[in-house]
Amino acid sequence: MEKRFKDFQNKRMEIFNKLIQVGWKKSLEIKDLEKVASEIVDKYGYQPEEVSFVKDHIRVAMGLDPINSDTFSNEIEKIKQKRSIKKPVITKIDGVCQHCGEELNACDIKDNCKYESRYYQKSTGPFIINDKCPSCGKCTVECTYGALADKIEFMPLLELLKEDDNEIYAAVAPSIVGQFGDNVSMGQLRTAFKIMGFTDMVEVALFADILTIKEAYEFDNLVKSEEDFFLTSCCCPIWINLVKRNYPAIFEKMSPSVSPMIASGRFLKKLYPKARVVFMSPCTAKKAEVKEDNIKDAIDFVLTFQELKEIFSALKIELSELQGEEKDQASFAGRVYARSGGVSLSVKTVVNRIAPQRLINLKSAKVAGIKECNKLLSDLKNNQPIEANFIEGMGCEGGCIGGPKTNLQVDEAKDHVNEFGEESIIMTPMDNLNIRKILSKIGLNEFKDIYMRDDIKRLLSRW
């Protein structure tokens, strides 16, 4: 395999790094894009007919659609006008698939999606059926040649960060802990975000705590007999779309709750009406989730952990050398949402608090990975016996810590998540005084108001 076709994910991050370095110092110009393209073409020996492929990757790294052109035109103007990135999240970039040979059949791309959409097929390369694509991002990692890529949403955000009068919050997924080094604390990440121009960093696990309380009340209200069961909707858009598209009868049993990510954006914007919220994610599925019509105003941009690592590198931010600004915002229960079984554990702790005399105890079934999710859902559809009444599904193996855009292996990430959870001085959502402060600011007095008040139910509902 020739050098220009090897390990394109690293080349893609190299392109992104170069754009950040220039864009941080000054406003990008077309000549800057031409220089980046020329450097990549010369370094890796791309042929003249492949220049459009390199330039399309520059466009995608800027959050734009590929156009299969070797000429830059109005890309800079488009970026300056953007305040959000539009669908599709996953794009096909023409120009290299003819070199693929047997690789597409040999790699894992087909297996990644055959349980959901079956949308990668052998032709002149892969093609994407956007209304079936789960946007998990596994294909973009597996594609050696760079024919598949997800849009990076940082360049429009960069312009906003450079302006002093913008209020921008970094909302970090619970799975972020440990992703940037064993000795890098969450407080040091907060400092890094502030250096970049963010107003502050917020743990999305705090909003997982709020949603845990909501789903605990829902479970207590809806599961009254041994035949009843309840599906959590927290966390994973792949899980939600899988149930919605393929198991409509079971979908009726799913909680209407938004994900903690969407809750974080909605609450922050209710508290700070001029705020913009950027979610730091382990996967690309969250990029797709924030673009759904009924929830699209909650989160402005999504960056993955891999992209964030490249941003820190390009800006020469040495996280381990920063003074950390540590805060305890979330409970143990909210923080372990990051791994499979975390949601079930969290909801059960609250159910036991609000309804200690329940005759029907919460019994959970936890599945992770599309294959396992489909198997459990198929069993439910076919009335196979399942010793559970609370069903938790996550699209990635291991949960969010297994997302394709993380920086750690699943087992190592799980250890970090569990340890960080245990470090919290708040054990359960019911003990989290930060929730009480938030609720008091929006006129709520009791935890049960999260479930009882119609206006708050709308704030926390997906549909």
Q: How far apart, in whole angstroms, are the C-alpha atoms of residue 187 and residue 138?
A: 30
Shared-domain flag, residues 151 and 208: no
Shared-domain flag, residues 303 and 388: yes
Shared-domain flag, residues 234 and 251: yes
Q: Which residues contact 397 (CB under 8 A, 6 or more apart)?
A: 368, 369, 372, 410
Shared-domain flag, residues 307 and 406: yes
Shared-domain flag, residues 69 and 99: yes
Domain boundary among 156, 178, 207: 156
Single pTM value for the model: 0.94
Shared-domain flag, residues 117 and 218: no
Q: Are 413 and 401 in contact (CB under 8 A)?
A: yes
| CA-closest candidate to residue 138, choices 381, 395, 360, 389 | 395
CATH classification at residue 439: 3.40.950.10
SS3 content of the chain, % helix, strand, coil (to 5): 50, 10, 40
Q: How far apart, in whole angstroms, are the C-alpha atoms of residue 207 and residue 214?
A: 11
Number of domains in the chain: 2
> pLDDT tens digits, the chain, 463 residues: what are they?
467 777 888 999 999 999 999 999 999 999 999 999 999 999 999 999 999 999 999 999 999 999 999 999 999 999 988 888 988 899 888 877 655 544 445 444 455 554 344 444 445 556 676 667 777 778 888 887 888 899 999 999 998 999 889 999 999 999 999 999 999 999 999 999 999 999 999 999 999 999 999 999 999 999 999 999 999 988 899 999 999 999 999 999 999 999 999 999 999 999 999 999 999 999 999 999 999 999 999 999 999 999 999 999 999 999 999 999 999 999 999 999 999 999 999 999 999 999 999 999 999 999 999 999 999 999 999 999 899 999 999 999 999 999 999 999 999 999 999 999 999 999 999 999 999 999 999 988 889 999 999 889 889 998 7
User: Would you call 183 exposed, middle or buried from its count of C-beta atoms within 10 A (0-12, 13-18, 19+)?
Assistant: exposed
DSSP states along 314-342: HTT--GGGSPP-----S-HHHHGGGSTTH
Domain boundary among 156, 189, 217: 156
Q: How far apart, in whole angstroms, are the C-alpha atoms of residue 196 and residue 317?
A: 9
Helices and strands (DSSP H and E) totals, the chain: 22, 9
Shared-domain flag, residues 283 and 409: yes
- Pairing mode, if any, of strands 148-150 and 364-368? unpaired
Q: Which domain holds residue 54?
A: 3-156
pLDDT value at residue 64: 96
Shared-domain flag, residues 109 and 129: yes
203 forms beta bridges with 172
